[in-house]
Amino acid sequence: MCGIIGIVGTTPVQSRLIDSLKRLEYRGYDSAGIAGVVDGHVERRRAKGKIRALEEVLAADPLNATVGIGHTRWATHGGPSTRNAHPQTAGRVTLVHNGIIENYAELREALKKQGRTFESETDTEVIAQLLDAELKTRPPLDALKATLDQLTGAYALAVLIDGEDELIMGARRGSPLVVGYGEGEMFLGSDALAVGPFTNRIAYLDEGDYVAIDHHTARIFDETGQPVERPVTTVPASAALVEKGNYRHFMEKEIHDQPEGCQHTIAAYVDPLTDHTSVAGDIDWAKLERVQIVACGTSYIAGLMGKYLIERLADLPVDVEIASEFRYRQPALRPGSLAVAMSQSGETADTLAALRYCQAKGMLTAAVVNAQESTMAREVDVVWPIHCGPEIGVASTKAFTAQVCVLTAVAIAAARARGRIDEAEEQRLVKVLLEAPRLVAESIKLEDAVKGIAQEVSKARDVLFLGRGPMYPLALEGALKLKEISYIHAEGYAAGELKHGPIALVDEDTPIVILAPFDSYFEKSASNMQEVMARGGQVIFITDPEGEKHAPAGARVVVTAPKSDPLISPLVLAAPVQLLAYYVAVQKGADVDQPRNLAKSVTVE
Ligand code: AGP
C-alpha cells in the first residue's frame, strides 16, 4: 500500500529519494515524506498530498543529507495529513512503514502508561516509540529485534537512528522489502522498481528478516535473530520499462503494450515449433478433481474467465472466489486439489491469506503472478508468471490480458492431459492463441471509435456492461475499469440477468455497453440489445464484423473488433473496453494512473 526507499549514499540524497518515491507513487499517494542525517542528527520533511507537495516543501527547506529514507503513503490508520505522514519520529528514532500493526492499540496504551505522548494517529508511530524505548537499553539491531517481537501484523520498515550516521535498518513481515547493492552505496526499497535507478543487484528479504545496511554491507538476520545470506540477483526491471515513453499515462502505455505483453506471455507457455503447450508444474491433470481460484479485483475477473475456459475445454470443475470472502466462510476443500492464486503484484493480502488457507488444507498451490519474486511466487508449489513487464497504472490492463493468456494455455494443457482433445486439436488451439497478439493490436486501433463516444459516456450517471459466456467476466472488467478511473457508477451483468432486475435502470440517459462477438451467444445478446433499446437505452455494441452485419439497427454506436476464434475473443474485445474507460476518465480530467482512494498493490486486509 505504501512505498519505501532508503539510501546510504555518498552524494546528496534528496533528489534520489524523490525520484524513487515518484516511481513508488502507484503504491499510494495520500502523503509523502523524507528524512536524512544532517550534521549527525536526523531531520525530516513531510507533506500531505502527492510528491509534488513534498517537492514544494523541499524547495523552501532542502534536506542536505547523503543518508536518508523516504515514504509515499496510502492511509490506513489516521487520515491523510502532514501529522500522519511518514517518516514518523519518536526520540532517537525516525522510520517509515508499509503495512498494518494489528496490536497497535494495546501497545499504544501501554506506552502511554509509561508516560509517552503521541503526535499522530498512526500505528507506525507506535513502532517508533517502542524502538526508542528499547534503544535505552540495547544497541540498535537488538533493540529492533526486541521491537519486532512485540508486533502483530504486517510491516516493511526503514529506520534511521539519531547518532548512527551511516546506518539504515530495515525489516519485513507481510509487506515486501528488498536490499539494493550499489558501488559504495546501499539501498532499501519496497520493490525492485524503487531501487531500479540506482542498482539492478537486488536481494529479496524473506518473511521475518531484518537488516542493517551501511555504505558497503547488508547484515541480514532471520526472525530468530540468526545471521543469514539472501541471494543477490540481477533484476530486469530496467529504467526504460517503467517510463511512459510518449504516452500521457502509464495506463495508456500499458494498453498499447498488450500485443507485446501477450506475446511474451504466450511464448512462455507454448512451443511454436510443435504447437504444443508447455505448462510448468507436477500436476496430474487427468486425476485432478477440482481447481479453486482465489483473487481480488481484476485478477478475480481473470480467474472467472479461466473458469469458462478450463471447464469448457478440460471438463474440470473450477471454483473462483473473492479472496477476502473465501477463507472466512470455511470452504469445503479437499487435499490434493489445486488452488490457484491470481495476482499481478503477488502481494495482495487477501489473496495471500486465502492461498495460505488452501496450503494449510493440503492443497497443491499455483500462483499466476507478474512479480516473480513476490511473496506469493515464493510460497507456492508452482509459479505461472505472466511476463508482461512492470504494470504501473493502478488500473490493471496488460496484466489482465496476460493472466487470461496464461489460463488459456493452462486450459488447453489440461484438456490435452485429460484426453478431452487430441494432439491435432491442441495444435489448432495453440495456433489460435498465437494469433492473439496480432488481433489485440488490431483491436487497439479502434481507439478513435471509442474516443468518439467517450465524451457522451463521461456525462452518464450509471453505465451497464452486459455480456454472455466469457463476455460476462469481460463485462465485469469493463465496469470495474470505468468505476475505478472515471468514478462513474457502472455495473457488469450477465446479459441474461437483465430482465431479472437491472433493466429497471435503463432509460435514455443510460449507456449500455453490450459485448457480443458473433458466437453461439450472439442471438440472445441481440435480443437483449432490442430489450434495452425499446426502453430508450443507448447501446454501445462491441462486436466483430459478422456481428456488425447481424446487429439489430438502432445502436448508438457499433465498435467492430477483428474477427477472432471464441477461444481468444475475450482478449480481443478487452482493448475497446479498456480504452473506453481510459478516454472517459481523460474526458473527465480524472487522475488516470493514480485514481483517488486506490493503490496498485493492496497489501493490507
Ligand atoms: C484492477 O484494475 C484494480 N486496480 C484492482 O482490482 C486489482 O486488480 C486488485 O487489487 C488485485 O491486485 P493484484 O492483481 O495485484 O492481486
Active-site residue, 136 included: no
Ligand 1 centroid to Cα of residue 77, in Å, is 21
pLDDT at 170: 98
Question: What is the distance between the alpha carbons of residues 457 and 480, in angstroms, rounded to a whole number?
Answer: 15
Ligand 1 centroid to Cα of residue 4, in Å, is 20
Ligand 1 centroid to Cα of residue 79, in Å, is 22
- The cell for 173 is 513481515
Ligand 1 centroid to Cα of residue 595, in Å, is 13
Q: Give the atom of ligand 1 at the shortest distance from the alpha carbon of 296.
A: 11
Residue type (1 letter), 539: V
Question: What is the distance between the alpha carbons of residues 131 and 113, in angstroms, rounded to a whole number?
Answer: 16
Q: Judge if the beta carbon of residue 374 lies within 6 A of ligand 1.
A: no
3-state SS of 479-535 is HHHHHHHHCCEEEEEEHHHHHHCHHHHCCCCCEEEEECCCCCCHHHHHHHHHHHHCC
405-448 pLDDT, tens digit per residue, is 999 999 999 999 999 999 999 999 999 999 899 899 889 989 99
pTM of the predicted model as reported, rounded to 2 decimal places: 0.74
Query: What CATH architecture is 445-605?
Result: 3-Layer(aba) Sandwich (3.40)
CA distances to 89, 397, 559 from 579, rounded to whole Å, are: 44, 10, 12
Confidence of residue 240 (pLDDT cuts 50, 70, 90): very low
Q: Contact 218/211 with Cβ under 8 angstroms?
A: yes
Instruction: Supply the angle between the helices 124-134 and 104-113 in degrees, to the nearest 10.
Output: 50
Confidence of residue 27 (pLDDT cuts 50, 70, 90): low
Indicate which residue's Cα is closest to atom 4 of ligand 1. Answer: 395
Domains of the chain, by residue range, sit at 3-241, 243-444, 445-605
261-304 pLDDT, tens digit per residue, is 898 899 889 887 788 999 999 899 999 999 999 999 999 999 99
* Average pLDDT of the segment spanning 365-372: 93
Q: Give the atom of ligand 1 at the shortest distance from the alpha carbon of 295.
A: 16
The pLDDT of residue 372 is above 50 = yes
Nearest Cα to 585, choosing from 492, 505, 514, 480? 480
pLDDT at 275: 87
Active-site residue, 2 included: yes
Q: Give the atom of ligand 1 at the shortest distance from the alpha carbon of 394.
A: 4
CA distances to 437, 592, 597, 599 from 394, rounded to whole Å, are: 23, 8, 11, 6
Long-range contacts of residues 217-225, Cβ cutoff 8 Å, at least 24 apart = 217/186, 218/179, 218/181, 218/186, 219/141, 220/179, 221/141, 221/145, 223/148, 223/173, 225/145
Q: Judge if the beta carbon of residue 76 lies within 6 A of ligand 1.
A: no
DSSP readout, 450-477?
HHHHHHHHTT-SEEEEEE-TTHHHHHHH
Q: Judge if the beta carbon of residue 297 lies within 6 A of ligand 1.
A: yes
Local structure of 166: helix, strand or coil: coil
Indicate which residue's Cα is closest to atom 10 of ligand 1. Answer: 297
The pLDDT of residue 232 is above 90 = yes
The mean pLDDT value of the chain amounts to 92
Specify which residues 529 forms β-bridges with.
none
Q: Judge if the beta carbon of residue 396 lies within 6 A of ligand 1.
A: yes
The pLDDT of residue 75 is above 80 = no
78-130 pLDDT, tens digit per residue, is 767 888 899 999 999 999 998 778 788 889 999 999 999 999 989 899 999 99
Residue type (1 letter), 159: V
Question: What is the distance between the alpha carbons of residues 376 and 364, in angstroms, rounded to a whole number?
Answer: 13
CA distances to 170, 226, 307, 423 from 144, rounded to whole Å, are: 9, 14, 46, 59
Question: What is the distance between the alpha carbons of residues 227 and 212, in angstroms, rounded to a whole number?
Answer: 11
Pocket probe for ligand 1: among 298, 483, 582, the residue whose CB has the most ligand atoms within 8 Å is 298
* Average pLDDT of the segment spanning 129-134: 97
* Average pLDDT of the segment spanning 347-374: 94
Please identify which of the residues 2, 296, 388, 405 carries the catalytic annotation: 2
519-576 pLDDT, tens digit per residue, is 999 999 999 999 999 999 999 999 999 999 999 999 999 999 999 999 999 999 999 9
pLDDT at 26: 64
More confident residue, 130 or 330: 130
pLDDT at 175: 78
| CA torsion angle 511 517 521 522 (round to 10) | 70
Q: Give the atom of ligand 1 at the shortest distance from the alpha carbon of 480.
A: 2
CATH class of 3-241: alpha beta
pLDDT at 254: 94
Question: What is the distance between the alpha carbons of residues 581 and 457, in angstroms, rounded to a whole number?
Answer: 9
Q: Contact 485/395 with Cβ under 8 angstroms?
A: yes
Pairing of strands 3-8, 186-189: antiparallel
> If you ran DSSP here, which 8-state letter would residue 263 be given?
H
- Which uninterrupted H or E stretch holds 190? none
Question: What is the distance between the alpha carbons of residues 227 and 207, in angstroms, rounded to a whole number?
Answer: 14
142-174 pLDDT, tens digit per residue, is 999 999 999 987 789 999 999 999 999 999 987
CATH no. of 243-444: 3.40.50.10490
> If you ran DSSP here, which 8-state letter would residue 561 be given?
P
More confident residue, 382 or 30: 382
Ligand 1 centroid to Cα of residue 357, in Å, is 20
Indicate which residue's Cα is closest to atom 7 of ligand 1. Answer: 297
Q: Judge if the beta carbon of residue 93 lies within 6 A of ligand 1.
A: no
The pLDDT of residue 237 is above 80 = no
Domains 3-241 and 243-444 share a fold: no
Q: Give the atom of ligand 1 at the shortest distance from the alpha carbon of 602.
A: 10
Specify which residues 511 forms β-bridges with.
538
